[in-house]
Amino acid sequence: MIRGGVKLELRCPQRVGGIIADPQIDWSFDELLTELNAVDHKLQASSLVSSPFTKTSSSDRSVIRYAEKTRKSFVMHVSDDESDDDEGNYSRPSAMGGRFACDDVYLSDDVDSDDESTSGAQWSLMDKGGVIEGALIELSHEHQITVAEEIRTRISAFGTDITNEKEKLTNALSRAEKSKEARRELDRKRDLQYQRIIAEALDNHLTDVQRHHEYKSQIEEKKIRDDAAIEEAKRKQKALQEEKVRQEKMKAEEAKRQAEKKRDEEAKAATLEAEKAAKEAALAESQRKAADAITASQGAVSKGSDSVGLNKAPTGNILKAAESALKLEEKRLQMYKEVVGKDVSFEMDSNKEYRSYGLKMARRIKTITGKKESVRTKADELVKLINSTYPQSVNIGLFADNVVNQSTNASGNLVLYAYGHVIVMVTSQVPHAMEILLAKLNKVCIFTVPKYLSYSEAAFESEDAYHKAIGYEEEDGKLESTDSYLQRLTLHMKLYGALIQTEVDGVRNLHGIEEGWKWLARFLNALPANIYTAVALQAFLELAGFGLYRRYKNQFKKLISIISRDFIKALKEREDSKITKVVMSLQDYIQSNEFQKEPEGWRLLDSLLSNGFVPNESDHQQQYHNNSSGYRGGYQQQQQYNYNYNYNSPQSYRYQR
């Protein structure tokens, strides 16, 4: 007996009516139902209760379900209170239990039916057969609970399996989707790669096609060019043939014209020779008359023994020169006549071969530049030309004439300095060439002697005759202007100044710096101060002043001071407007000590500079431009360094070296 309940046990044999109570129940739900149905039929046949396992109502089913859920064994609780009160027995449930798992038990809600069922149940429980049936019901109920539990377990396991399968299916579907997406991406990439390969192949194909077309186009173009070149060659050949025919025709016509021209030139040369002879006779006559006038007015000219000085002739003497200079001039002219003979210009006009040879020599001289290599090359070429198969005397005359003539076209001092180097190098290898050149220079410019002819109506028939005597040139029967004459005079004096100061290593200058010093002393002793002598002196100093200063230093400075004190003063006293520019140029040269500065172009260039051929201003104007510094005032009185020179005094100047 347990407090609060009664434990019912089967107090019956293990086998009743062919039914065995197995303590270890191993029934399935279907088997249980089958056996319960069999038991029900048997009980209906033997039991007083006609239908104990009828179906219950819905409310009873809920009770049965609840009992199944509680999963407890069949327990009957009996109250400890022993009351005889029937009403108490009816008011309190005499037994409390749960989990009657009898689906076929009908429980009515009606009170009467309840009492009946209760009394019937009590009767059944009290009955032996009812005990067996209750045990069976309990067993059936427990078996049903076990089966239900197993079913629930299996259902739960099945649900778990289904969930797992769903998850597996979901994962499989996800993997399949990913695999599908990956395959789709791979297919897309492969498609792109395939399209790229196709595009590259197409591009390569198009490139090959284009290259092939270009190659064909080039072939076509080359063929067209070749055809055009062939046509052009044919056209040129035809043009050359036509030109050759035309040239031959022109040569024939030119030969005809040359023959006619030669006849005309011969006739003209004869006329010129006659005119020249007449001019020389007239000039000789005028000089004879001048000499007679001098003899009649002053007697014979006194001769000095000094090698560089000549007493100033009395007023009326038209020839101003040192006797030593006149002797040198006469000697040079005599050598010129002996070596060269006829006038070279006339010889070139009358002889075609000489004229062609003279043009070759003129081209060599004309292309002399201020570059050392040019000077050496031209000097060697000129020496070869002079020593050619033609008579050397004629070649020397051509050389002298071309040098003097080309000097008037020099583009600047640099070229004139280069001329000086070429002259020194050529004359050191050719005998008499220096004297012939100086003779030619003395003929075209009397100030290179130096000498000067003063105008005298008694000595000259007219001013034109005087101008011709001092070197004016006549062209088309008309004398050149004074400006043109001064331009040529300037260039001739510059050539002479460049020549006397030139020094070449290993070569002796036959007319060097000593001759330049003598020339300056003779010039200051004998020549008057006027526009011609001023221009000649200024041009000479511009190119030779630096060389004279390098050699003679203070002695040259003394001569410069004499020029500033006496020569320029005498120029100013003439009050000639044409002299003003020359005076200012000389003053600026002396006051700024330009003779102490190396002049531009004095040093030959190792490499040709562009400014070596471009003069800063034209040769005609550079000697007559008014310098900005102007006249800065007279010099202070210099000491008398054995100089005794004054253009306004009758005394002569002698320089004692």
pLDDT confidence of 42, banded at 50, 70, 90? confident
Q: What is the DSSP string of 390-457?
A: S-HHHHHHHHHHHHHHHHTT--SHHHHHHHHHHHHHHHTTSTTHHHHHHHHHHHH-GGGTTEEE---T
* Lowest mean pLDDT across 92-96, 195-199, 247-251, 393-397: 92-96
Which CATH number does the domain 301-612 belong to among 1.25.40.510, 1.20.120.1200, 3.40.30.10, 2.40.30.10? 1.25.40.510
Which amino acid would we find at residue 49?
Answer: V
pLDDT tens for residues 50-81? 444 444 444 444 444 544 444 444 444 444 44
What is the model's pLDDT at position 495? 96
Q: Which residue has the higher pLDDT, 80 or 224?
A: 224
Domain ranges of the chain: 15-144, 301-612
- Region 519-526 average pLDDT: 93
What is the model's pLDDT at position 63? 44
What is the model's pLDDT at position 598? 92
- Region 560-567 average pLDDT: 92
Q: What percent of the chain has pLDDT over 90?
A: 31
pLDDT tens for residues 324-382? 999 999 999 999 888 876 555 555 555 677 778 888 889 999 999 989 999 999 999 99
Take residue 615 and report the two structure tokens written for it: 């003069």
Q: Which residues contact 72 (CB under 8 A, 6 or more apart)?
A: 98, 99
- State CA 479 to chain mean position distance: 58
Closest CA to 495 of 396, 588, 421, 598: 421
* Lowest mean pLDDT across 190-194, 411-415, 577-581, 650-654: 650-654
Specify the 3-state DSSP secondary structure of 314: coil
- Region 309-321 average pLDDT: 55
Q: Which residues contact 279 (CB under 8 A, 6 or more apart)?
A: none
Q: How far apart are CA 572 and CA 579, in angstroms?
A: 8
Q: How far apart are CA 461 and CA 475, in angstroms?
A: 20
Burial class (CB in 10 A: 0-12, 13-18, 19+), 146: middle
Specify the 3-state DSSP secondary structure of 319: strand
pLDDT tens for residues 465-501? 899 999 999 888 889 999 999 999 999 999 999 999 9
Q: What is the DSSP string of 58-127?
A: HHHHHHHHHHHHHT----B---S-----HHHHHHS-S--------TT----SSHHHHHHHHHHHHHHHHS
pLDDT greater than 50 at residue 649: no
pLDDT tens for residues 8-34? 454 555 565 555 655 555 666 777 778
- Region 593-620 average pLDDT: 66
- Region 573-599 average pLDDT: 90
Cis bond leading into 13, ω under 30°? no
Closest CA to 578 of 542, 624, 623, 540: 624
3-class SS letters over 345-381: HHHHHHCHHHHHHHHHHHHHHHCCCCEHHHHHHHHHH
Q: How far apart are CA 436 and CA 108, in angstroms?
A: 177
- Is residue 363 within 8 A of residue 345, CB to CB? The reply is no
pLDDT confidence of 156, banded at 50, 70, 90? confident
479: β partners: 474
- Region 452-476 average pLDDT: 88
**Claim: this prediction has a pTM higher than 0.85:** no
What does the mean pLDDT of the chain come to? 74
* Lowest mean pLDDT across 90-99, 518-527, 586-595: 90-99
- Region 434-460 average pLDDT: 92
- Is residue 453 within 8 A of residue 320, CB to CB? The reply is yes
Q: Which residue has the higher pLDDT, 637 or 36?
A: 36
Long-range Cβ contacts of 637-642 (<8 Å, 24+ apart): 637/565, 638/558, 638/561, 638/562, 638/565, 641/558
What is the model's pLDDT at position 20? 60
Closest CA to 312 of 657, 646, 52: 646
pLDDT confidence of 524, banded at 50, 70, 90? very high
pLDDT confidence of 308, banded at 50, 70, 90? very low
What is the model's pLDDT at position 346? 55
